[in-house]
Amino acid sequence: MTMTFPAFTDLAAVAEELASRGNVKLRAILTQAWRAQSCLGDLRQANDCAGVLRDMLKRPNEQDTPALLTVERSLLANAIMLYARATSTNGDKGERGSIQLSEKKLTPEEWADHNAILDVRNQAMAHVYRSRKLSDHDWHRAVFFAVDAGGGQWKPASASNQTSFHAETFARLEKILPVALREVKAKFHERMEAVTKMVNSDVKASGLRKHVFDPVAVFGTEEAVRALLAGEGQGDAAFWINEGKRA
């Protein structure tokens, strides 16, 4: 039996209609709220990656395989990239941008952890330097050498090191993620309060009703809609949709 849900309306459509008449305030505060919500989503995914990686590290070393080591490297890299994207990186016009953490709201140790993770992202993962130490560790190192092949001949060769896992970096990431989640979630709630205030005081009910939509059609299932409604009490709800699931 199909469940009856309360009315859902498309606030972005409402905001665009108001903007077409010269009132861009709702569009502006929706953009700010979206940025915070999207950054919060990045941090949740980073936290999920860190949790899976922590579980993987509990296995005995003798169970290591090239495939598992690749998964570990990918989880750490993805978690760091998502963290940086949510808390530091700037966006060009049209890009989302980030919710940058404030040094004033963090302890000196938290701020140090935050910047250490950003350094790894910027100087070891997003870019490759021939030799640059971070916390006395070479993330990328190349050695070109030649081996005496006899008869006056030398055979050139090379060897390189690319760090797949770094325990100190992972420890810092695990410490700073809850802090970033706390700060960005607070910013999200602050901005959603501004949206709520405007929608209920400055937007006509007829304008809201004009853009009502079927939530099941948009969110995919009744279960997803129920999850969204259940999250109202906490101020937000999140669920993942796998649109590219393989057969």
Q: What is this structure's pTM? A: 0.82
Give yes or no for residue 157 having a pLDDT over 70. Answer: yes
pLDDT digits (tens, 9 = 90+) for 88-113: 977 677 788 899 999 999 999 999 99
Average pLDDT of the chain, as a whole number: 87
| Residue 120 Cα distances to 5, 78, 102, 113, 134, angstroms | 46, 12, 19, 11, 7
Q: What is the pLDDT of residue 101?
A: 95
Q: Which domains does the chain have, with CATH numbers?
A: 8-128+166-211 (1.20.120)
d(CA 127, CA 111): 22
Altogether, the residues listed in the chain come to a count of 247
Is 209 in contact with 13 (CB distance < 8 Å)?
no
**pLDDT at 212 exceeding the cut of 60:** yes
pLDDT of residue 159: 82
